[in-house]
Amino acid sequence: MTAVSPLPYLPAAAATPLGAEVARGLIARPKRLSPWLFYDERGSALFESITNLPEYYLTRIERDIFAEHGDAILAAAGDAGATIIELGAGTASKTDLLLAAAVRRHGPVTYYPMDIAPSALEQAGDRIARELPLVSVRPILRDYTRNLGELPGSRRLVLYIGSSIGNFEPARAAALLRRLRSQLAPGEWLLLGVDHVKDRTTMLRAYNDGAGVTAEFNRNVLARINAELGANFRPRLFRHRALWNDRESRMEMHLESLVAQEISIAALDLTVRFRRGESIHTENSYKFTPDAVKELLARGGYAARHNWTDARGWFGVYLAEAV
């Protein structure tokens, strides 16, 4: 095995999206892995479990906003909403509320959930077909962060909810919104769900739950690398760490090596060494003020026209027009 080789000398597996991300990330200083690696089948199931935890307020509050304001959201979007596209849909556990509101307003609706997890898309499609027969579900298996593809339909309302935009550094978040904007006609809409800045204790608890599900979700990325690239990570030798970075206004997740260790990744012909206490930075989750959301939308080519929040202002849903 070669020790921490430069990318040009790695084998063919490094040309795959997974191999390239792992090679680049674990050679980098400090080490890092992109959060899209979380979402293999097991990781997607673990994340669904996280959304039901008492500490994880984001999903619960956003769903409550949709339950209370779904009709108002669709009314504010006007003629748009007969076609609904959702980026990173997962199992669409909250989207049914907006789809039901769209049916009340438009009658038959076409829904395009886009995700990288086929099992999640299948689950979403089966449930929505049973519960909302006037919704035609047409899943798109795609990593929208790498290839948005050509978006179907007209009179479109695009959903980007769950504060997924917070996983991207600000420049990348704006670039993603601009790529989306390039496919939308004036008068089409983006519904963006974002987590607001709040007290540190609440945010820390949301990413470090008492049952340890988030820790298992974080360590699962190592199990995925073992399974798909032939690595020999021992996930229990890495500690889940969640911390608040006040300067960057973001929650961070890390995997900290509990011992000095050497990891072999067979498919990449690569050996990676860890010092005790050295970590892999696995996720950022940026938190926003309302003004910061509006500034981000403007950088992406949108005008924020309406927004809804909970009574405490912990989470916000912003309806933005392509301009």
**pLDDT tens string 2-28:** 444 444 455 666 678 899 999 999 999
Q: How many residues in total does the chain contain?
A: 323
pLDDT above 70 (res 31): yes
For residue 111, the cross-strand partners are: 84, 137
Give dist(CA 156, CA 83) in Å, integer.
Answer: 5
Q: Tokens in use for 106? A: 């438009």
Q: What is the pLDDT of residue 7?
A: 47
Return the amino acid letter for 183.
Q
Asked if residue 230 lies in contact with residue 215, where contact means CB atoms within 8 angstroms, the answer is no
Q: What is the pLDDT of residue 116?
A: 87
Q: How confident is the model at residue 241 (pLDDT cuts 50, 70, 90)?
A: very high
Give dist(CA 149, CA 285) in Å, integer.
Answer: 25
pLDDT above 90 (res 213): yes
Q: What is the pLDDT of residue 12?
A: 65
Give the pLDDT mean for 139-163.
94
| Domains of the chain, earliest start first | 2-32+214-286 (no CATH), 57-198+289-322 (3.40.50.150)
pLDDT above 60 (res 222): yes
Q: What is the pLDDT of residue 195?
A: 98
Q: What percent of the chain has pLDDT over 90?
A: 90
What are phi and psi for residue 3, nearest 5 degrees?
-100, 115
Give the pLDDT mean for 145-151.
91
Q: How far is CA 170 from CA 113, 157, 284, 295, 315, in A?
A: 25, 23, 11, 11, 18
CA 23, chain centre distance (Å): 22
Beta strands in the chain (DSSP E): 2-3, 31-32, 83-87, 109-115, 135-137, 140-141, 156-160, 189-195, 238-245, 250-257, 261-265, 270-274, 279-286, 302-309, 315-322
Measured between its terminal Cα atoms, the distance across the chain in Å is: 53
b/e per residue 270-279 (b: at least 16 CB within 10 A): bebebeeebb
Give dist(CA 122, CA 90) in Å, integer.
Answer: 9
pLDDT above 80 (res 48): yes
Q: What is the pLDDT of residue 65?
A: 98
Q: What is the pLDDT of residue 16?
A: 87
Q: What is the pLDDT of residue 146?
A: 86
pLDDT winner (highest mean) among 35-49, 62-76, 114-128: 62-76
- Weakest-pLDDT range from 2-16, 133-147, 211-225: 2-16
pLDDT above 50 (res 227): yes
CA dihedral 95, 97, 101, 103 (to 10 degrees): 70
pLDDT above 70 (res 214): yes
Give the pLDDT mean for 42-65.
95
Q: What is the pTM of this model?
A: 0.91
pLDDT per residue over 256-314, tens digit each? 999 999 999 999 999 999 999 999 999 999 999 999 999 999 999 999 999 999 999 99
Q: What is the pLDDT of residue 10?
A: 54
